[in-house]
A and B are shown apart, each in its own frame.
Chain A
Amino acid sequence: MVRSSAATPGQAAEGPGREAARALMAQGRRSAPVPRPTARFRNAIEKRFFVLMSAPGFIVVAAVTFIPICAGIYLSFTNYMPTDPSLKFAGLLNYRQLLHDSEAHQAIINTLVFAGAGLAIEMILGVSLALMLARPMRGIRVFRTLFILPLMVAGIASAIAWRSLLNTSMGWGNYFLSVIGLPQPNWLASPHTAMASVLLADVWSGAPTVAIIVLAGLLVVPKEPVEAACIDGASSFQIFWHITLPALQPVLAFAAIFRLVDLFRNIALFQIMTGGGPGLSTSVLNFFVYQTTFVYGELGYGAALAVVLVVLMAIPLLIVFRFARRRS
């Protein structure tokens, strides 16, 4: 702060502030900070400025994330229910129940199928789309803009739209199929196609997401090696496989992490489109935790399932992280 230099005698005479002021005056500066009774306080703030700046944010982050996670882990060792809200330690009760719960096993399998298939489809389609969008063509900007659209549509709205589009008798999906003479599946109503239907809705937003991320990477990949290879007579596929793909690796890893996280925690699609059914065919772990906790009220068991979900999600994520680190 720049203040007037009229120091009153008797004020805190010596201190780091005063010394600094002298040093500055010696350099011929016009104004210099002059200590006041608040100087010590000011100095203290100045010294710990960054700690004070970051403390509120970090404390709140810790409060809203660390506390619930710890509480959740503890909760997973209790038998908490709304009818019996005791937080008494129940040992491994919930985890033992998990071993014998075939519905939970099905949910774990469904989760892995959904995340694995979703990731594979979205990465392949997304990268292909990005390669197409990276070509310098007339009007490509319009395409690039329009393909961002799914990223803007809130998950809930897309779930509603897809639920209606895939309605067996009144949806547009089957209408279009009937127009071109293809068989019309039961989509959400049949256990054989329900998961694929939800995947379709997820790919709708997931593939463009991957495409946009990869496109941003593609546009900054150096052009010289590509041109050199082109002149040397390499095929487009060879160029893609040996030059473009390795250069894109960090971006691909990022896109994969981004999608994996989303695939593991998607819930609106399942709740709106299928409700986990028919039967258990689309009961993914995330949705199963919701049902267990908030529909059946078994909060302790739900917390244990949530712990399993995190472990299940952490494994592929760590692999991708490793993969990204090793090469880049």
Chain B
Amino acid sequence: MTSAPLSLPLRQRRQRKFASIFVTAGLVVGLCFVLLPVFWLVETALQKPANAFAIPPHFFFVPTGENFTNVIHSQFAGTLVHSAILMVMSTVVALVLGVPAAYAMTRSRFRGSRAMSVWLIGAYITPALVYIVPLYVIYQRLGLIGSYVGMMLYYETFQLPFTIFMMRAYFSDIPREFDESAWVDGCSKLRTFRSVILPLVLPGVATVTILDAISSWGEYFGALIFSSSNTETAPVAIYQYVGLEVSDWSEMAAAALFIVVPIMILTAIAQRGLMRGLMSGGLVG
């Protein structure tokens, strides 16, 4: 829908103007709905605890940082550290294993490679519980409940297929001629990968890293089941505020912002790649 050609009859141009107003109104209404929970989180987190559930809400108030300092000095700070440790561990493992595998998948056809790509999609979309229930039994026997390793292995059920899948799209954008000319020049395959191809897909790697980090940081259910007090992650810890019912809404909102804000920063960094990634994932499937 490009700008109206001049040849359009007046009626149609008037219609367009009307449509424009209609669309803007629709977008504004939609935006209010979309911003409501985010606004609530910010407003409540900056509110004095006693005013958090005042009805009518206090929209005009002097913001306080009290809730954030309280959260930082509570046990919640520790759970943020646990989340960060897990995020780094699981993302590094997913990248170290996934990026080479994705490269190999785009550069050679081997028996079962088709089955493997179907399996990757299937593995990624399988509901978490399908893994969590049996893994719980397996972990009990292996003593992995409450350990970072156990949680990380569970995170790989979605991170690793996702990483391979996304990176495959980035690698297939690079023509095979790049590899072949490097081989002809006497590069070993490893060197070709490391010094020729990998630098070309670094933007893709960066995007996938951020998406992996986000999925690990916000993961809730696996952590709820597999973590112990020493490895409890922030999303699980926040659930305990819910248990308190209404007594601490403002602190709960502040804690929630500690989870949300890092993701927003990461997404802002990766915004361009994010769109592309979503689409390439779709087109390959």
Contact = CB atoms under 8 A, between A and B. Distances in A.
B285 A137 contact: no
Given A75-B133, A169-B55, A29 B100 contact: no
Contacts of B50: none
Interface string B274-285: 010011001101
A95 interface: no
A286 B127 contact: yes
A151 B211 CA distance: 12
Nearest to B217: A154
Interface residues of B, number: 97
Interface in A6-40: 24, 29, 31-33
Given A157-B260, A213-B278, A254-B285, A265 B110 contact: no
Interface of B: 1-3, 5, 7, 19-20, 23-24, 26-27, 30-31, 33-38, 40-41, 44, 53, 55-57, 93, 97-98, 100-105, 107-108, 110, 116, 119-120, 123, 125-131, 133-138, 140, 153-154, 156-157, 160-161, 164, 186, 188-191, 193, 217-218, 220-221, 225, 235, 238-239, 241-242, 246, 249, 252-253, 256-257, 259-260, 263-264, 267, 271, 275, 278-279, 282-283, 285
B129 to A, nearest CB: 5
A65 B161 contact: yes
Given A160-B238, A302-B133, A57 B160 contact: yes
Contacts of B5: 231
Interface of A: 1-2, 24, 29, 31-33, 42, 45-46, 49-51, 53-54, 56-58, 60-61, 63-69, 71-72, 75, 80, 85, 128-129, 132-137, 143, 146-158, 160-165, 167, 169-170, 172, 175, 204, 208, 212-213, 216-217, 223, 226-227, 231, 236, 250-251, 254, 257-258, 261, 264-265, 267-268, 271-272, 286, 289-290, 293-294, 299, 302-303, 306-307, 309-310, 313, 317
B127 A313 contact: yes
Given A156-B235, A160-B242, A251-B282, A29 B134 contact: no
Contacts of B125: 257, 261, 317
A288 B34 CA distance: 29
Contacts of B27: 129, 132-133, 143
B129 A257 contact: no
A114 B193 CA distance: 46
A272 B220 CA distance: 11
Say what secondary structure dominates the interface of chain B: helix
Contacts of A58: 101, 116
18 contacts: A2-B186, A32-B186, A42-B188, A64-B131, A64-B153, A64-B154, A68-B135, A68-B138, A69-B131, A72-B131, A146-B31, A154-B260, A156-B220, A157-B260, A170-B55, A293-B133, A293-B136, A299-B133
Q: Interface centre among B220, B239, B257, by most A CB within 10 Å?
A: B220
B2 to A, nearest CB: 6
B86 to A, nearest CB: 14
Contacts of A310: 126-127, 130
B123 to A, nearest CB: 4
Contacts of B267: 148, 151-152
A57 B104 CA distance: 10
A143 B1 CA distance: 18
Given A156-B238, A165-B36, A251-B282, 18 more contacts: A50-B110, A64-B157, A65-B126, A65-B131, A66-B119, A68-B130, A69-B126, A69-B131, A143-B27, A148-B267, A154-B263, A160-B253, A164-B53, A167-B246, A216-B279, A254-B285, A257-B285, A306-B129
B35 A149 contact: yes
Contacts of B2: 136, 223, 227
B278 A212 contact: yes
A254 to B, nearest CB: 4
A136 B1 contact: yes
A286 B134 CA distance: 15
A204 B37 CA distance: 9
Q: Interface centre among B103, B131, B191, by most A CB within 10 Å?
A: B131
B26 A164 contact: no
Closest 7 CB pairs of A and B: A57-B101, A154-B218, A254-B282, A161-B37, A54-B104, A265-B127, A72-B134
B123 A306 contact: no
B188 A57 contact: no
B100 A71 contact: no
Contacts of B135: 68, 71
